[in-house]
Amino acid sequence: MESTSDTAIKPLPDFSNRQLWQQDIPAAEQVMMEQLDARYKKILWMNITLQALIFLITSSVVFVVFFEKRIGGLIVFLPFTIWLGIRLITFNKVFTRKKYALREHDLIYQSGLIFKHRQIVPHNRIQHISIQESWLARHYGLASITAFTTGGAITIPGLDKNSALNIEALMLSKINQLNRTETAQNSEENPEESQD
């Protein structure tokens, strides 16, 4: 809001944060976010179907038990219809909003159409990484990857299994590299400290 703030917190120019994992042409200024694998749509469809079934059954139970099948009771299906309509209309947009990017120094994941959310985890804060495959995901050759920090985790679903493994390998090498430089620095710093 205050104009002074913008200048004060600009990143320094000599710091590079190139994108590491990218299938498209690299854009210099902006991060090109990657789409999730198109096969992940099928899993999303399955999820919606399952949720719709549960929603429909509960609505029907309410309709039969509480409204005793009266015509006016049909109103209990209104929330279900609205919910289903929104899910169907926004399906593609919700899917395309889910994007990720792996940069030199961090991992980014964004999602949400109504509640937009973009999470960034730097590599040097990651404790460990895990790859999960549900039975459904395995069927489609998909996997999700989770990076854990001590202050929360970030999960990217719907990746091609090979991409997930590649990302994991890249991140691990990055993390190990960071660890090595850190320990090297520590051993360098120690003699200085004892002189103080």
Partner 1 sequence: MQESAQQHIDFSQEQRQSVSGVWIEFGSMLKKYIRAFFVLIIYLFLKLEWIYYIYILGGVFLALILLAAVAYLQYQYTVFYIDQSKREFILKKGIFNREKFVLSIDKILQVNLNQSFWQQVFKVYAVEIETAGTSDQELKIPALDLKIAQALKSELIGINPQERLDTEPKVDLRAPIRIAYTKLVLHAFTADYLRSFLLMLGLIISVYSRIHEYAETFLQPVEDWESEAYHFFKTQSIALALLGIFLFSIFVNAVRNIIRYFDLKIRPEATTTWISYGLFSKKNILIQNDRIQTFSIETQLIQKKLGLFLLRISQSSADITADKKAKVKIIGLSENQAEQMFEQTYHEKIPTFSTHLKANFRIAILPFVLFFLLPTIAAAITIFITKSPLVLLIFPSLYLAASFYFIPKFKKSYQLSISNKFLKLRSEMWTSKALYVRVQDIQAVSIQQESWLKRAQLAHINLQTAGGNLRFSYGDERTLRNLADWILYQIESKTNHRK
User: Where is 132: in which H helix or E strand?
Assistant: strand 128-132
Which residue lies nearer to partner 1 by CB, 162 or 176? 176
Q: How would DSSP label each residue in 64-106?
A: HHTSTT-GGGGGGHHHHHHHHHHHHHHHHHHHHH-EEEEESSE
- Each residue 103-122 as x (binds partner 1 by CB under 8 A) or -, in order, gives --xx-----xxxxxxxxxxx
- Which residues are CB-neighbours of 73 under 8 A, at least 6 positions away? 62, 63, 66, 67
CA-based diameter of the chain, in Å?
87
Q: Number of residues interacting with partner 1: please give it, by CB under 8 A.
A: 40
Which residue lies nearer to partner 1 by CB, 70 or 93? 93
Residues 145-184 interacting with partner 1 (rule: CB under 8 A)? 149-152, 154, 178, 181-182
Q: Site for partner 1 (CB under 8 A): which residue of 9, 25, 28, 71?
A: 9
**Least distance to partner 1, CB of residue 96, Å:** 15
CA distances from 195 to 187, 189, 191 (A): 14, 10, 7
Contact flag: residue 6 with partner 1 (CB under 8 A)? yes
Which residue lies nearer to partner 1 by CB, 143 or 174? 174
Contact flag: residue 72 with partner 1 (CB under 8 A)? no
**Least distance to partner 1, CB of residue 93, Å:** 11
- The CA-CA-CA angle for residues 189, 104, 101, to 5°, reads 145
- Residue 114 CA to residue 98 CA, distance in Å, equals 12
N-term to C-term CA, the chain: 43
**Least distance to partner 1, CB of residue 71, Å:** 34
Which residue lies nearer to partner 1 by CB, 43 or 154? 154
Place of tokens 């991140």: 171
Which residue lies nearer to partner 1 by CB, 43 or 171? 171
Binding site for partner 1 (CB under 8 A): 1-2, 4-6, 8-12, 15, 17, 105-106, 112-125, 149-152, 154, 178, 181-182, 185, 189, 193-194
